[in-house]
Structure 1
Amino acid sequence: MSVYDEIEIEDMEWVEEDRTFYYPCPCGDRFEILLEDLLMGEEIARCPSCSLTIRIIYDEEFLAQYANLN
């Protein structure tokens, strides 16, 4: 799969209510990926308004701090 860019997860916005990470898309919308998808090994975030995707660069220790939030 061709991706638009690779983004460090630390550069993404975390919205706890949605349990989702967001990143601005050039089209004006936002790429999005659920924490649960990341925990299952998914690393591709999609923009709901266009066909662009990004690969998320992260490590398991970083995700653990979000997985433990209730």
Structure 2
Amino acid sequence: MGRVSFYDEIELEDMSYDEDRDLFHYPCPCGDRFEITRSQLKEAEDVARCPSCSLIIRVVFDPLDFEDDDEPSAATDKVPGQVAVAT
């Protein structure tokens, strides 16, 4: 496989977070935006893609920050003191 050419390297802290879509995004020169999901970051993927063009960026972050990351729906469904029981 050939060498991958990145448009840029962007720190995760410089990206915006969209809670509704559970992803980080950054403006792309084509007018759209590069996107990478929390689950991709949890899997240590560091490539954000633009859905409108062929450009990609490398996202610089610490994978350990996402090591214990739970799915957002699971975290918000928990009630303190309540224990989940399989039926």
Using the alignment, how far apart are the partners of 1:17 and 1:9 within structure 2?
A: 18
Off by >6 Å, runs of 4+ in structure 1: none
The higher relative CO (CA closer than 8 Å, separation ≥ 6) is in: 1
> Gapped runs of 5+ residues in structure 1?
none
Match among 2, 5, 9 for residue 6 of structure 1:
9
How many residue pairs match? The answer is 69
Alignment deviations for residues 23-57 of structure 1 (CA, whole Å, 9 cap, x no partner): 00000000000110111011000000000000000
Identity %: 51
- TM-score of the pair, normalised by structure 2: 0.71
> Gapped runs of 5+ residues in structure 2?
76-87
Q: Which has the larger radius of gyration?
A: 2
In structure 2, what residue type is equivalent to 1:42? E
Structure (1/2) with the larger strand percentage: 1
Using the alignment, how far apart are the partners of 1:7 and 1:21 within structure 2?
A: 11
RMSD between aligned residues: 1.7
